[in-house]
Structure 1
Amino acid sequence: MHAFVLFAAAIAILAQSASSALVSIPLHRRSATGFTNTDLTYDDGVLVGTASVGNPPQQFEILFDTGSGLTWVPSSECTSGDCKNREGYKASQSSTSVSTGQIYKLSYGQGQCIDAKIYTDTVSIAGSTVANQQFGAATRVSGFNSQSYLGVFGLGDFSNNGGYYLNATAKPNTIGSSEIRRRQTAPTSASYASNAFMVNNNYTSPQFGTYVTSTSNGFGKRWHTKGHFIFGGIDHSVYKGSIAYLPLVDSCDDNSSRFWKVPLTCVKFGHVDIKLQHNANAAFSTGTSFISAPTKVAETIHDAINGEYDPKENVYTVDCDKLDNFPELVFTFNGYTVKLPSSAWTARQGDKCHTLIRRNSHSKNWILGGAFTNTFYTIFDLGSERVGLAIPKGQCDAKIYKHGQKSKK
């Protein structure tokens, strides 16, 4: 799926609490590793998992998205085109379903939008079951074109006190196609992940992370067939070297949700220095496969490699014969520099090639989607208010440099 950045209302996700047990979710096959596993799909660079809702449980395939806050599934009342031939949530068939009487209208990037009725019910995701959990049942869905999922596990747009963000009126766009949001008070049951930390499995660590394991089929090896969601801590067995921790933006420097955004101090592309505006930041979003840059920056990058913009597909096409010669895309954060090889941010479809770098509507901020996050073991740490990056075992193309030290490989 493509850019999923929340515009309007979003419910809180995650708070400080609970685990010593790790829950790892391979996003394709079950394994006998002792972790909790589920069979999921890897869809166009994004991670998709199973949610069970209700009693008895009703199952849905949903997107794991750190770029949005509301967890939702389709409703049985949905009759829009995206809901065709889909099973929807049937509140009347769940003995634990309670309607809150609330309705949220949400708009995501690239034209996706939903209307959702808010319920509380028993919800199970990532091996944890939470009773009386608040979620959305979408009665109208538009712009979600994937056949493998319909719904979102929202892992972003939350605050330390469990608040969530509602769209502020008369405000300009901020990051990507997302609007400035003001914090509102959310019910305790709004945050699935925080509730899971508090009530399940003696969790003591409010951390979760994602990484993918790669195939070795030539050019397409970066398009991984297996992904993982690790909930309740860090699995130190899946990466090499150490973790580069990047602090979240200061609350005084960002008027919208801080999660999961970090300061971005410099970007280079080969011999081209990208001019960044003051207080630029980068949001880590697992809800999109693309790296999203301000339009002028996207143009500068693609001018250097003779990329041509395709407005219909919203991608830049490039010469397939030159892919291996494209330079690294280099990001500098507080304390670390990350070098991303062209294999991570280019894609081939038949005899055509395009980059995974696209435009956004913001003048200074970036969104780092799957082309970036799937290259690393990406850790989301609310307790310490930071994002961690580490090199997965078996992956050696990307590099992380700590300033003043040699690279982490």
Structure 2
Amino acid sequence: MRTFMLLAAATAVLIQMAETSLVTIPLHKRSSDTSFKNTDLNYDDGLLVGTALVGNPPQQFEILFDTGSGLTWVPSSECKSGNCKNREGYKADQSSTSVNTGQTYKLSYGQGQCIDAKIYKDTVSIGGFTVIDQQFGAATRVSGFDKPSFLGVFGLGDFSSNGDYYLNATGKPNTIGSQEIRRRQTAPGSASYASNAFMTNNGYTSPQFGTYVTSAPTGFGKRWHTKGHFVFGGVDHSVYKGKIAYFPLVDSCDDQSSRFWKIPLTCVKFGDTDIKLHPNSNAAISTGTSFLSAPIKQADKIHDAIDAQYDPSSNVYKIDCDKIDDLPDLIFTFSGYTVKLPSSEWTTRKGDQCNTLIRRSSSDKNWILGGAFSNSFYTIFDLGGERVGLAIPKDQCKAKIYKHGHSLED
């Protein structure tokens, strides 16, 4: 009997050890074993801005990191429009590796921003990743990009399953942004920057990148400094707490336009109020805007509940500043997960003027969740898995993610 009990105890220990090893053996290399890079970005009023080096020798540009569009572009030295004044532009004749493809491209971002560009191939380096013969735009005309901190875009969206992004060789304008409607065109030979970086000899095996923001005191009273971060080549498991919630991208059969990091959106609530959605609604996770954009009826319903007044000149809803702290959470449901976003994340105060960061879009069913949403999380864009992940950064406790009523931070 004693022998049997010893054997049973030993068996139990072995089973426990086996189960433990199965749980702890990672299927993918964790942060200490991967060669991902975590690059600091400038944080500009909800937008993430970083440095691009283009050409040989390299020419430096500050550009917006944008998962809502596919074309990477910088200003051209030929650009003489108002937005290009007092800025250095790309000089193709000063780069030994520059190739003019002969293509031109016109692009509207849907919020009064537009560019005309010539398409080149050249060496492009962003965040320590260098891609040779990368296709990009040199903008000869730029309108609507008025931020002094950047002029240009790092396009991290608008991809197909093989990583190609789509340009229109006919010169017919395309529209992205709030409308998010663009028919797929014939794909040129060069893939998007992110996909190219994984396919070239950089040695990176994980087709994932992500963004998050951190805040730290500057030492001047109660002032705080907010900094953005761009993680490329994997997931940095050291910067979040709890688990990652992953959401599959919309099925390409259900959405004939580019997938633009869109995930199915099944429910929106404002506190206890249901916001009726159009069937098959989705939400694009975009770092290219600081706003949340919603269909007009849905945006109006949210703001009617708090007596906010729409200002058509700025496409924002103004609200009494005294009400901000008492506003309910904005609650989203995606693929079985519930995400709660407190009002502090989607309202803003400038002096004695307050407004929400929710604005109207021209779509009748789709949302765009910009920085007011994505900056609350470590947001992971997984090319290989065709999914978006959200996790709570370690220094952030306002937004919440739940699955079946349980917080992912537990």
TM-score of the two chains, using structure 1 as the length reference: 0.87
The alpha-carbon distance between structure 1 residues 171 and 277, as it changes in their structure 2 partners (threshold 3 A), is: farther
Which amino acid counterpart does residue 45 of structure 1 have in structure 2? G
Q: Structure 1 stretch 172-181 or stretch 69-78: which is displaced more?
A: 172-181
1:84 & 1:173 partners in 2: Cα distance?
25
Following TM superposition, by how much is the alpha carbon of 1:322 offset from its aligned partner in structure 2, in angstroms?
1.1
Corresponding residue number in structure 2 for 1:341:
342
2:186 & 2:301 partners in 1: Cα distance?
39
Map 1:157-172 → 2, pairs under 5 A = 157-166=158-167
Map 1:346-385 → 2, pairs under 5 A = 346-385=347-386
Residue 35 of structure 2 corresponds to residue 21 of structure 1: yes
The alpha-carbon distance between structure 1 residues 324 and 250, as it changes in their structure 2 partners (threshold 3 A), is: same
1:224 & 1:379 partners in 2: Cα distance?
23
Corresponding residue number in structure 1 for 2:5:
none
Q: The residue matched to 1:389 in structure 2 has which SS? A: strand
Map 1:165-184 → 2, pairs under 5 A = 165-166=166-167, 176-184=178-186
1:259-290 residue CA offsets vs partner (Å, 9 max, x unmatched): 30000000000121000011000000000000
Map 1:21-40 → 2, pairs under 5 A = 21-27=35-41
1:208 & 1:84 partners in 2: Cα distance?
33
1:96-137 residue CA offsets vs partner (Å, 9 max, x unmatched): 111111100111021100000011111110111111111110
The alpha-carbon distance between structure 1 residues 55 and 169, as it changes in their structure 2 partners (threshold 3 A), is: closer
Q: Structure 1 stretch 192-201 or stretch 265-274: which is displaced more?
A: 192-201
Corresponding residue number in structure 1 for 2:289:
288
Residue 219 of structure 2 corresponds to residue 205 of structure 1: no
Which amino acid counterpart does residue 331 of structure 1 have in structure 2? F
Q: Once the two structures are aligned, what percentage of the paired residues are identical?
A: 74
1:9-32 residue CA offsets vs partner (Å, 9 max, x unmatched): xxxxxxxxxx931110111xxxxx
Map 1:119-198 → 2, pairs under 5 A = 119-166=120-167, 176-187=178-189, 189-198=190-199
Following TM superposition, by how much is the alpha carbon of 1:200 offset from its aligned partner in structure 2, in angstroms?
4.0
Following TM superposition, by how much is the alpha carbon of 1:313 offset from its aligned partner in structure 2, in angstroms?
1.4
Residue 406 of structure 2 corresponds to residue 392 of structure 1: no
Corresponding residue number in structure 2 for 1:113:
114
Contact 1:173–1:362 (CA<8 Å) still a contact in 2?
A: no
Corresponding residue number in structure 2 for 1:37:
none
1:157-211 residue CA offsets vs partner (Å, 9 max, x unmatched): 0111233235799999897223231242221x34212221122431010000000
Following TM superposition, by how much is the alpha carbon of 1:386 offset from its aligned partner in structure 2, in angstroms?
0.5
1:171 & 1:63 partners in 2: Cα distance?
21
Contact 2:72–2:137 (CA<8 Å) still a contact in 1?
A: yes
Contact 2:40–2:228 (CA<8 Å) still a contact in 1?
A: yes
1:154 & 1:106 partners in 2: Cα distance?
13
Contact 2:269–2:275 (CA<8 Å) still a contact in 1?
A: yes
Larger Rg: 2
The alpha-carbon distance between structure 1 residues 259 and 43, as it changes in their structure 2 partners (threshold 3 A), is: same
Give unpaired runs (5+ residues) of structure 2.
Answer: 1-32
Q: The residue matched to 2:234 in structure 1 has which SS? A: coil
Contact 1:54–1:97 (CA<8 Å) still a contact in 2?
A: yes
1:200 & 1:348 partners in 2: Cα distance?
47
Contact 1:284–1:373 (CA<8 Å) still a contact in 2?
A: yes
The alpha-carbon distance between structure 1 residues 388 and 224, as it changes in their structure 2 partners (threshold 3 A), is: farther
The alpha-carbon distance between structure 1 residues 180 and 100, as it changes in their structure 2 partners (threshold 3 A), is: closer
Residue 91 of structure 2 corresponds to residue 77 of structure 1: no
Following TM superposition, by how much is the alpha carbon of 1:46 offset from its aligned partner in structure 2, in angstroms?
0.6
Q: The residue matched to 1:214 in structure 2 has which SS? A: strand
Structural RMSD (CA): 2.3
1:45-80 residue CA offsets vs partner (Å, 9 max, x unmatched): 010000001111100000000000000000000000
Q: The residue matched to 2:184 in structure 1 has which SS? A: strand
Contact 1:162–1:186 (CA<8 Å) still a contact in 2?
A: no
Give unpaired runs (5+ residues) of structure 1.
Answer: 1-18, 28-40
Q: The residue matched to 1:205 in structure 2 has which SS? A: coil
Contact 1:270–1:328 (CA<8 Å) still a contact in 2?
A: yes
Q: Which has the higher contact order (CA 8 A, sep 6+)?
A: 1
Following TM superposition, by how much is the alpha carbon of 1:151 offset from its aligned partner in structure 2, in angstroms?
0.2
The alpha-carbon distance between structure 1 residues 224 and 200, as it changes in their structure 2 partners (threshold 3 A), is: farther
Which amino acid counterpart does residue 297 of structure 2 have in structure 1? K
2:171 & 2:295 partners in 1: Cα distance?
23
1:71-94 residue CA offsets vs partner (Å, 9 max, x unmatched): 000000000000000100001111
Q: The residue matched to 1:408 in structure 2 has which SS? A: coil
The list of structure 1 runs, each at least 4 consecutive aligned residues, that deviate by more than 3 angstroms after superposition, is 165-175, 221-224, 404-409
Corresponding residue number in structure 2 for 1:266:
267
1:174 & 1:362 partners in 2: Cα distance?
11
Q: The residue matched to 1:300 in structure 2 has which SS? A: helix
Following TM superposition, by how much is the alpha carbon of 1:388 offset from its aligned partner in structure 2, in angstroms?
0.2
Following TM superposition, by how much is the alpha carbon of 1:239 offset from its aligned partner in structure 2, in angstroms?
0.2
Contact 2:245–2:390 (CA<8 Å) still a contact in 1?
A: yes
Contact 2:295–2:360 (CA<8 Å) still a contact in 1?
A: yes
